Structure 1
Amino acid sequence: MFESVGLQKALSFMFMAVVGRLVKKRFTAEHVAGIQRLILDVMLPCMIFKSLCSIQVSAGLLKWPALGVAFAAWQLGTAFVFCRLSLARGTARRTAILQLATAAPGLSAMVFVKEFVGEEAAGMAALFDLPTKVYLIFGLPRLLALAGDGENGEVSQAKKKKQSALLDPLNVAIAAGLAMAATRTKFAALSFVGRGVTALADAQTPVLFVLIGMKLKVSGATPAVCLALLAVRQAANYAFFLLASAIAGGDLALLLACQAAVSVIGWSQMHKIKEAGVKGYDTAFAFDVVGFSMPLAMGLQTMACLQDPKAAVATMAPYGAPALLGLGATALVALQPSLRESRAWAEHPRAD
């Protein structure tokens, strides 16, 4: 069992987070902020550039991006509903809705799809992930700006920064990646530049998990709130899988994609919009959601992949949906006194 590539990957992620926790006291707040900036401005743009370069869509595979569009809309709608029912209006609710309505199949599902389903299925899962990437890169920043709690002066000040936004590493990476895809230029043609980009993109995962170990808040009600919200989110995603299976057919690849963790890109976009002057988001809370989502997703992926594929498809969603919904809803009801007092858990006395 421990020889499984997927399980080894999950355990290695956990180890990286433990290392981050162990060395946490050796890093000042400024050091941690520097690591965070390295991810946001160097590693993440390289990862997005590389993934955009590989975009290819054929008519015969349009079912997968269509399911991806439906999944992105489903996540946003369900996150809006259960966060409104459980969280008080304000920064925490706004942050939770827009962070929970993201997904990262590339980081938390693709290795399992490739190992346990196959290379062809990995390509289909990448097409399923494509609409989510489009939403994260183009749709989410607009939603964050519209839903933000900034005053008109602050928002207009953010709009004045368009010129500097053109030079933002993430935006440069998006434009360059789309240009590569549009001209059908192969990533391999970049030679040593491509190898450098690949090295930086690959470095994101270990550095991110070390940072998660350093920053993750494990005291107070925050862990329980995050895990309860993530449990309800996953129950809703299982419901999507069951609906999609009934309409278009479902398999292990789709199940694994629906079990993906929330996306670090969502936190990144929230961080950037906050820096641009838009108030109303708690980026520390958003990062905690990302941090707790990763081990939960890895556990579910491992459970699914250690079963026979047909058995996993037949059991994970039908049994997982009510179980996670029950656990998450019960926890949220029990946590209501804390949830209604945001200062008890959502306001972090630390740097974003």
Structure 2
Amino acid sequence: MDGALEKSISFILFILIGVLLKKKISTGEQTNGLKSLILTLALPATIFIALLKVKVDGNLILFPILALGFNVILFAVTPILLKIIGIDINSDKGRSAKLLIPSLAPGLSCFAFILEFLGDGSLAKAAMADLGNKFFVLFLLYLVALKWHYKNADFEANSLKTKLKGLFKALLYEPVNLFIIAALVLVSFGITLDKIPGYLSITLTRLSYIMTPLVLLFIGLAVKIKKEQFLQLFSLLLLRAAFTLLLIAGIILFADITIKKDILVMIAFALSSASFWPFAHISAINLKEKKENTLEKTFDINFALSILALSLPISVLLILGILTTGNTFTNIDNILILGTTLFFIGILYPVFIKIKRSVVSKKSDNTSSIKKNEVQLSADK
């Protein structure tokens, strides 16, 4: 059996074990504890080692900028995707989707696979790119959420400044970002993994070993797919993936990127699931509105949670499927074919809904016309 296929089957088995463990492990505090273990220990250690193993140059600075640019483009396109599937962009559901769809959570949906299939160098690039994404989801989306919540831009200006300072500290002191900064400082002084004390490198290496199994178990434990709005959200997330692939294909052509690993890193990173941070912003604003007894809510917290729940398994399956095929999707034609296929699958639901509404409308028109004729006949008699 092919090595990549064996690895993929192994990953799927870990996810299935996580699903089976749902009966033993609660999806509340225990699952969140596992997530914290990944984000505060296993993932930072893995990224730290990856950066110390590769030659860091000035080109790595471009990755956060590119990721931020991708977030902004996806944010601009999201209203179009929402219109296609029939969600009012100015409704609470529309605003929730506009905040979540352009966000990325590579730590839980793609880093483990990039490490396993593409190696430390590719993981280092993805980790650097995530700095741009973190700035987008922590700061820019928070400002957008507040803008939608407050109609007056000057309202609670002091409170806004305080919260922004808190967000800046959260960004600075997040374990992953601290390890990235520490690794970049060490590498800039020529200190690599083999030059740090042995006990440190051994400890960090062993911590990194547990990342992939923990992430896969977490995915299995965290998957929650509700029947309500399933088709609508499934359609939205497939259209998001389709646009992502078509955009990546355009970037590859425009920039003439030929390094196969870099292409796969771009695809895997861009297909990451929606981030938890925008949901945190939504939750904070929703709590504030509850305390103030606000009648018209800015966001729909249940709809946002459904997006998060469905986004993770879809992203994981797409990323795992693409990386399993080796260099198949480093070819532009194959990227375009997959992107187009996902687009047509994603658009099936809104087309079906429009046809159904059209049929119902015609039936109601026919019924009303028959009733009018009956009334007219009875009047003539």
Give the alignment's TM-score, normalised by structure 1.
0.72
* Amino acid aligned to 1:185: I
Residue matched to 1:233? 240
How many residue pairs match? The answer is: 317
* Greater Rg by CA: 2
Residue matched to 1:132? 129
Residue matched to 2:319? 297
**Would the aligned equivalents of 2:239 and 2:347 in 1 still touch at CA under 8 Å?**
yes
1:210 maps onto 2:217 in alignment: yes
Residue matched to 1:158? 163
> Which of 178, 183, 190 lines up with 1:177 in the alignment?
183
> Which of 13, 16, 20 lines up with 2:14 in the alignment?
16
User: Map of 1:4-83 to 2, 5 A cutoff?
Assistant: 4-28=2-26, 29-54=28-53, 56-58=55-57, 62=59, 69-70=65-66, 73-74=69-70, 76-83=72-79
Pairwise CA RMSD: 3.9
Q: Offset at 1:43?
A: 2.3
* Amino acid aligned to 1:20: G
Q: Offset at 1:140?
A: 3.6
**Would the aligned equivalents of 1:24 and 1:214 in 2 still touch at CA under 8 Å?**
yes
Q: Offset at 1:274?
A: 7.2
1:221 and 1:4, CA in 2 relative to 1: closer, same or farther beyond 3 A?
farther
Residue matched to 1:93? 98
* Amino acid aligned to 1:182: S
Q: Offset at 1:77?
A: 0.6
Task: Render the CA deviation track for 1:181-215: whole Å, top value 9, x for unaligned.
Answer: 33231123142222222222332221122121112
1:260 maps onto 2:257 in alignment: no
- Counterpart CA distance in 1 for 2:250 and 2:331 is 13
Task: Render the CA deviation track for 1:263-308: whole Å, top value 9, x for unaligned.
Answer: 47x7365577679x56667467435423321112212333x42xxx
Q: Offset at 1:18?
A: 0.8
Residue matched to 2:346? 328
- Counterpart CA distance in 2 for 1:311 and 1:41 is 32
1:185 and 1:135, CA in 2 relative to 1: closer, same or farther beyond 3 A?
same
Residue matched to 1:112? 117
SS where residue 196 of structure 1 aligns? helix
1:269 and 1:177, CA in 2 relative to 1: closer, same or farther beyond 3 A?
farther
1:38 and 1:225, CA in 2 relative to 1: closer, same or farther beyond 3 A?
farther
Task: Render the CA deviation track for 1:53-89: whole Å, top value 9, x for unaligned.
Answer: 3453457xx5x87588546524541353135531443
**Would the aligned equivalents of 1:68 and 1:127 in 2 still touch at CA under 8 Å?**
no
1:329 and 1:198, CA in 2 relative to 1: closer, same or farther beyond 3 A?
farther
Residue matched to 1:339? none
* Amino acid aligned to 1:296: L
Note the residue ranges of structure 2 that are not aligned, 5 or more in a row: 151-155, 287-298, 355-381
1:187 and 1:224, CA in 2 relative to 1: closer, same or farther beyond 3 A?
farther
* Amino acid aligned to 1:73: G
- Counterpart CA distance in 2 for 1:243 and 1:35 is 38
Residue matched to 2:142? 145
* Amino acid aligned to 2:190: R
Indicate the percent of aligned positions where both proteins have the same amino acid: 18
Note the residue ranges of structure 1 that are not aligned, 5 or more in a row: 115-121, 337-352
1:157 and 1:22, CA in 2 relative to 1: closer, same or farther beyond 3 A?
same
Q: Offset at 1:154?
A: 5.8
* Amino acid aligned to 1:186: T
1:102 and 1:44, CA in 2 relative to 1: closer, same or farther beyond 3 A?
closer
